[in-house]
Amino acid sequence: MKKTSVGLLKRMLLPKFPAIEIDGAVVFQGCDVSQDQLEEAAVLGAVMRKKPQKDSGRELHELNLLNQKRYAVTAWFYDFLDYPWERQYRKWRPELLKDVSGDVLEAGVGTGRNLQYYPHHVNLTAIDLSPAMLKKASRRCSEAACSVTFVHEDASRMLSIPSAQYDWIVSFFLCCVLPNELQEQAVSEFARVLKPGGRFRLLEMKYSENPALRKRQERFAPFVAKVYGAGFDRDTLSHLEKNKDLTVTGTRFLKADTYLLIDGIRKG
């Protein structure tokens, strides 16, 4: 792969959405980005994140570094592995995203499965810790009716995201991947980047209270942890309820007592 610079890459492309941004710099803009250029962006992102970041005195958590390395591999077959569950998720996505509006942050965009369901008037910033997952999401840019900017960013730090910037935060299955140690920090970042009155919608998985279902989850848990870095034991709802700047306005299960939808608002 030939050597190049971020500045050169920026000059190569047209100034239209979507964009790919790495560490606060827009690297690519335009749906006509070639496969080679997307791969170059992923390599640049990996190089930029190779060492723990020390901005604002906070290093990238070692467990997040492990997840970043994990998804460099998992990204290649993520959609294939997720297909049995996606048959259910794709029925939920239109309903869960139809009322989202304004400036929206999707934390943990993954391979971009939500992109086609955002209303056309949304201005979307889609972040992910993994450059490889961002590359996969970028391939779905043509499915999006709204404007999209892809940003390589850690949801538990969001160093490149200004405060009080967003009307909505959307996050599906991000917090179950975040290490327990970073749950409170990530929730605090959600509160920081939301505008007063801004809303959030999170979809997460948790252990069932049903003994038979719980037993099946426990058998599956080692695979989920190894491949996705995820767990059914995260207590995201508790962290949201404890945050002084956020109010949980509603919760409901979409299926059994495992798929938990959490809605809330940033206090004014």
57-115: pLDDT as tens digits: 345 678 788 999 999 999 999 999 999 999 999 999 999 999 999 999 999 999 999 99
Interstrand relation of 25-29 and 103-107 (parallel, antiparallel or unpaired): unpaired
Instruction: Give the global pTM.
Output: 0.80
Task: Decide: 237 and 251 in contact? Cβ < 8 Å.
Answer: yes
**Tokens at 15, concatenated:** 């100034």
Task: Give the three-class secondary structure for 21.
Answer: strand
The reported pLDDT for the residue numbered 45 is 42
Average pLDDT over the chain reads: 83
Which tokens is 213 given?
């279902």
The contacts of residue 113 (CB under 8 Å, 6+ apart) are 86, 89, 90, 93, 140
Instruction: For residue 152, give the H/E element and its range.
Output: strand 147-152
b/e 219-231 (16+ beta carbons within 10 angstroms → b): eeeeebeeebbbb
Residue 44 phi, psi (nearest 5): -60, -45
Q: Please state, in angstroms and rounded to a whole number, the distance separating the CA atoms of residues 239 and 186.
A: 9
Reported as a single tens digit per residue, the pLDDT across 131-185 is 999 999 999 999 999 999 999 999 999 999 999 999 999 999 999 999 889 999 9
pLDDT at 32 exceeding the cut of 60: no
Tokens of 71: 């998804």
pLDDT at residue 53 is higher than 90: no
CATH 3.40.50.150, applies to 6-266:
yes
The residue ranges of every structural domain in the chain are 6-266
Backbone angles phi, psi at 242, to 5 degrees: -85, -20
How far is Cα of residue 153 from the mean position of the Cα atoms in its chain? 9
Q: How far apart are CA 107 and CA 38, in angstroms?
A: 20
Indicate if the alpha-carbon torsion angle 152, 21, 140, 145 is positive or negative. Answer: positive
- The 10s digit of each residue's pLDDT in 193-207 is 999 999 999 999 999
Inter-residue contact 49 to 152 (CB < 8 Å):
yes
